[in-house]
Structure 1
Amino acid sequence: MFEIDQPFIKFPSRRSVVFGTNAMVACTQPLACQAGLEILKKGGNAADAAVATAAALNVTEPASTGIGGDCFCLFYEAKTKKIHGMNGSGRSPSKLTLEYARDKLGITENSIPYTNINSCTVPGAAAGWIDCIEWFGSGKLSPGEILKPAIELAENGYPVSEISVWEWKNNEKILQTASPNGSDMLIDGRAPNVGEIMHMPNLARTFRELAEKGKDGFYKGRIAEAIVELIQSKGGVMTLEDLASHTTTRVEPISIEYKGVRVWECPPNGQGITALIALGILEALQDQGKIPSLDSLEHNSTQYIHILIESLRLAFADSQYYVTDPEVHHIPIKELLSKEYLSKRAQLINTSKASVDVKKGSPVNSSDTVYFSVTDQEGNACSFIISNYDGFGTGSIPKGCGFTLQCRGSGFILEKGHPNCLGPNKRPYHTIIPCMVTKEDELWLSYGGI
């Protein structure tokens, strides 16, 4: 058993640390890792390789990710020592209101069920891939060259790995029943077995159209029409205009100083701010003398875990209320991360007793996902995360497209007046977060979570 023991990261592993001198791709599937490395060897940078890896993961681990879902990334630019952010999440259909969900669709729960087609927001991944290449890429490789490894995997076939098979079989029924096109992602009507060769020609076709036509190849024309036709055939309200009007957003990352390093996250509608709030509470606990320091506590001891849980409970109580689409509803980010507010939240923690009823604070007066990280020979890094949300998402496959549509709209709250209430043209609360840590402006860690 090998153990990493650093001030900020400590965990045991059965695997040795992987070292490299030029570049590295860290992801869940070796074939996807190979796709990213291929792009790096051709002169691409971390952003180019991240998109190649994301596309290859869509092929090799589709129960976790895909072009029918959303993505976010943070990009560390070594030349300027600056971190850039990208929000590649999609919005709800323009006709999908709270009243429509309640009155017309008869949804009585507090959220849209995962398998209901109206939980599908506009897929943001396709635009996110193209924009990631354009905004952060090397400029040396075209989208076609970057997507080529994934296209070849999908067309020529690949042996399916154990974990991917397990996920596939757990979702076999939904693929068989959610749409008439389940055969795109099944073999003879069933999930693949371990080591069985899986071919995905329709997904390869989708990737080719995106590579050749850019974002219009996905959000207009054949693919867009297939998406809308399927959604409307199942009682959904998404339109061609909803797809055509989609845009990726370039965002300014948010951060907090913690024990000599700076931790970076994408701003809402993602929940990355949760981690920053929790870290701020931990620091405040130390400033207040409630704990000497987190490092001084025995790792994974009762008190250590208690402090972490209580800090995260308070942080989640805030984020699950305040995090929503910032283009629709103001989010008090500055106030939530202020030392004054975090100190007040820390005062609520009893270091020897669990809180009974954790509620949001008032900062102002009045998995099923893949995460991966790529670094390149120039010192750039890309922290990238992409998801269908729950397994294969809705499980619905647009005709001739080879991918499932996400169910990210389940992240909306069906409660009038709630900041994250379902509304038209709105991005929902997102659980997936790419992260980075810098020390004196130098990249120290590229990581993420769901």
Structure 2
Amino acid sequence: MRNFERPGRSVVMARNGMAATSHPSATLAAVNILQAGGNAMDAAIAACAVQGVVEPGSTGIGGDCFALYARQGRDDVVAFNGSGWAPAAATPAALQARGVTEWTRQSPHVVTVPGAVDAWATLAAEHGTMPLAALLQPAIALAEEGFAVAPRCASDWALQATLLRDDADAARVYLQNGHAPAEGTVHRFPELAATLRAIAAGGRDAFYKGAIGRGIVEFLQSRGGLHTAEDFARYRGEYVQPIRTRFRSMDILECPPNGQGVIALLLLNILSGFAAEGDPLSADRLHREIEAARLAYAARDAWLADPKHVPVDADWLLSPGLADELRARIDPRTAAVHVPAPQPAAHRDTVYISVVDRDRNCASFINSIFHPFGSGQLAPGGVLLHNRGQSFSLDAAHPNAIGPHKRPMHTIIPGMVVQDGRVRMPFGVMGGQYQAMGHAHFISKVLDFGLDPQAAIDLPRVFPVPGTTQVEVEGTLPTATRDELTRRGFELVKPEMPIGGAQAIWIDWDTGVLHGASDPRKDGCALGH
């Protein structure tokens, strides 16, 4: 039980259904859908569409989507990969011929075909109970009538004002008198509302084969992009087989590569060899988590790619032998100076939504435009385009090299916890690169240290920045722990913004009660009925 004399959040409890998102309007939209008879998938899609309006720097129809879905809480979990692909003409050689030697955030070449709308339409048709048109209505209303800008959203918006000023259309739509709207300001997106209405009327084809897609292609081509109408018309997301690992008494499920869920599971495999004891914020414990993350992310950056184009040995990445090898490299008293990628024996912004309905259908749903406000490029129809292509390598020899209709290594990862054939908890952690470590950190705090989901989410966070010697540390971490980590050789730095965000819903099958948690680092909440 938490100390009620201290500021904080209680776990939200309900019996019939629950949603947890990073924005109150999205949570309310999801619960309204549940109360109107919709299921968890319906509610997740409606909430996500709302967040593309009220939390525009984090997500939208110009981004990508992944989902895990459990029907009636059963262990036959469905996974969907809604990440977009690169243009058919995109190769390292083709880009180098155009003078592209490094990725820049506002380049047309960092924009892959957005996968979110296809994912929403496919999942609504095959797993929902309400038409997509109905699920988009709350978002359309907010875009047309306006919404009050929430505090965390306003803070993130202000940090990207310079980026938005660099694109005339983005500045016109997202800024007010040249500045990001302050918290409490009313903002509207009439062009986006019209686009959402077109999708509601015409479905996914309105986006990928109609005027919306043509407008995006023409916009990108005008900036030198290699995109064609065929790249959009041929795009489809796909169902994939979830991957899993055993951690303590439960199975943790993730989407397979090209997402980094396999790295979250690798991290848990490493941590499973350490005893769960003492203070979860002790220097000893965080030391192990930081070093495990540095090793796992080195493996990610070396080997993770689109398995349809290059071999990705997920079995090796999840093998006990690799976990043992990496765990043995961790010096429990001193930070490693260099972290090489392991070798096989042979051969930034996002929203996450957790929903559980009356029938215990469980949706673990994540949607992203990558960096805050994505590429900062606004296509016709108010479609803010992501910059996910920056995750590709321009080295033709790298597994994650950009290629025709290839998907980049992806950071966004929905999660699911299963025990004895039933889902215990849909969960997710936002925060770009942080997400794999965030999953492992959160699950360890719940299963190793017995914290409820809200208490685990509330804990201070640390994150070793991939490819550097720096470790981002939130200011709420105890001073004694910070001092000891510094003494051990870690270079602690202050993050630009709070690290990540999370939502989770724990299912108590014995009592029938749902326990919802939502991250105080964001504006959102968990709400049940």
* TM, length-normalised to structure 2: 0.78
1:184 corresponds to which of 170, 173, 187: 173
2:110 corresponds to which of 99, 119, 140: 119
Contact 1:179 1:395 (C-alpha < 8 Å) held by counterparts: no
Tell me the equivalent position of 2:328.
347
Tell me the equivalent position of 1:428.
408
- Structure 1 residue identity aligned to 2:61: I
The separation in 2 between residues aligned to 1:256 and 1:340, in whole angstroms, is: 14
2:32 corresponds to which of 23, 28, 38: 38
The more displaced of 274-283 and 350-359 is 350-359
CA positional deviation for 1:118? 1.0
Tell me the equivalent position of 1:362.
343
Moved over 6 A (4+): none
Q: Deviations over 1:181-218 (max 9, x none)?
A: 54233334542222122111111111111121111010
Tell me the equivalent position of 1:63.
57
- Structure 2 residue identity aligned to 1:127: D
Tell me the equivalent position of 2:101.
108
1:19 correspondence with 2:13: yes
The separation in 2 between residues aligned to 1:212 and 1:445, in whole angstroms, is: 35
Helix, strand or coil: the match of 2:404? coil
CA positional deviation for 1:151? 0.9
Contact 1:93 1:237 (C-alpha < 8 Å) held by counterparts: yes
Identity %: 38
- Structure 2 residue identity aligned to 1:85: A
Contact 2:73 2:422 (C-alpha < 8 Å) held by counterparts: no
- Please list, as runs of the form range in 1=range in 2, the aligned pairs for 1:279-294 lying within 5 A after superposition: 279-283=268-272, 285-286=273-274, 293=275
Contact 1:70 1:387 (C-alpha < 8 Å) held by counterparts: yes
CA positional deviation for 1:362? 2.3
1:314 corresponds to which of 295, 299, 318: 295
Contact 1:182 1:189 (C-alpha < 8 Å) held by counterparts: yes
- Structure 1 residue identity aligned to 2:402: L
1:374 corresponds to which of 344, 352, 355: 355
Tell me the equivalent position of 1:415.
395
CA positional deviation for 1:442? 1.8
The separation in 2 between residues aligned to 1:297 and 1:415, in whole angstroms, is: 45
Contact 2:73 2:423 (C-alpha < 8 Å) held by counterparts: no
Helix, strand or coil: the match of 1:318? helix
RMSD value over aligned CA atoms?
A: 1.8
* TM, length-normalised to structure 1: 0.91
1:93 correspondence with 2:87: yes
The separation in 1 between residues aligned to 2:345 and 2:168, in whole angstroms, is: 46
CA positional deviation for 1:366? 2.7
The separation in 1 between residues aligned to 2:201 and 2:223, in whole angstroms, is: 30
Contact 2:46 2:138 (C-alpha < 8 Å) held by counterparts: yes
Count of residues in correspondence between the two structures: 429
Q: Deviations over 1:218-271 (max 9, x none)?
A: 001210111011111111111111111110111111000011111111101111
Tell me the equivalent position of 1:7.
none
The separation in 2 between residues aligned to 1:28 and 1:425, in whole angstroms, is: 32
Unaligned runs of 5+ in 2: 430-434, 436-529
Helix, strand or coil: the match of 1:382? strand
CA positional deviation for 1:446? 1.5
Tell me the equivalent position of 1:199.
188
- Structure 2 residue identity aligned to 1:429: M
Helix, strand or coil: the match of 2:97? helix
2:304 corresponds to which of 323, 328, 344: 323
Q: Deviations over 1:29-58 (max 9, x none)?
A: 111111111111111111110000000000
- Structure 2 residue identity aligned to 1:306: H
Contact 1:332 1:364 (C-alpha < 8 Å) held by counterparts: no
The separation in 1 between residues aligned to 2:35 and 2:379, in whole angstroms, is: 34
CA positional deviation for 1:13? 6.9
Contact 1:97 1:424 (C-alpha < 8 Å) held by counterparts: yes
The separation in 1 between residues aligned to 2:347 and 2:213, in whole angstroms, is: 44
The separation in 1 between residues aligned to 2:3 and 2:53, in whole angstroms, is: 33
The separation in 1 between residues aligned to 2:170 and 2:347, in whole angstroms, is: 51
The separation in 2 between residues aligned to 1:80 and 1:372, in whole angstroms, is: 19
Cα distance change on mapping 1:251 and 1:299 into 2, 3 Å = same
The separation in 1 between residues aligned to 2:343 and 2:210, in whole angstroms, is: 47
The separation in 1 between residues aligned to 2:304 and 2:63, in whole angstroms, is: 19
